[in-house]
Amino acid sequence: MNGISYLEVALLAMETRAMELLKRMRGVGGILIRPPTGMPTAYFFFLGEIVRQPDPANRGQGDRGTNYFGIAMSKAAFSLATHQDSGVPTVLRYGEVEYRGSIFLPLPDGVEVVFFFSGGTEDEDVEIAKAGLMKIACNRCKGKGQIIRKTDEVRGSMVKCPNCGGLGINTF
């Protein structure tokens, strides 16, 4: 991978997908990784505007604008707290939003990974988050609980998924 980490590849895939999908360049995305012990680590990318200013003329008198960074973090926090993708029907806590746009991935070793984006429609946000997941997940499992990590192989090499035998990029 020539010195580029698997996280950088995933973030770049998310940013590229956002630029393909969105009519306006705006939003915040990232990846959160929480080990079984210790604190989570967050990796972000910012795409153009991270805040939409109020626009009562086009969106109505009650429009207060949008903080994409705040929404993105709320989606990610929801996924870490509930161990599920954002937007599932549930009772929300203060600070959580009902919007879709984060994908929760538990790994067999207890590591939890969340891919998230806010800046498009909910469907676009999910597609952008999925673009990051798909870059580092098994090509056949498509992220169903499997990120390929084989410490006896070179990072970035194509290896067989221990779950299904499909090929994927070794991420560790």
pLDDT tens by residue, 7-48: 788 899 999 999 999 988 899 999 999 988 989 899 999 999
Strand (E) or helix (H) holding 80: helix 68-82
Phi-psi region of 152 (alpha: psi -120 to 50; beta: other; left: phi over 0): alpha
Residue 154: what pLDDT? 43
Per the document, the length of the chain is: 172
pTM: 0.80
Residue 143: what pLDDT? 47
pLDDT tens by residue, 95-137: 888 999 999 988 777 888 899 999 999 999 999 998 888 777 6
Residue 66: what pLDDT? 93
Residue ranges of domains in the chain, CATH in brackets: 6-52+66-136 (3.30.450.150), 140-172 (no CATH)
Question: 140 pLDDT band (50/70/90 cuts)?
Answer: low
Distance CA 42, CA 31 (A): 6
- Residue 142: pLDDT above 70? no
Q: Taking Cα atoms as reference points, which of 66, 67, 87, 65 lies closest to residue 76?
A: 87
Evaluate whether 104 touches 78 at the Cβ level (below 8 Å).
Answer: no
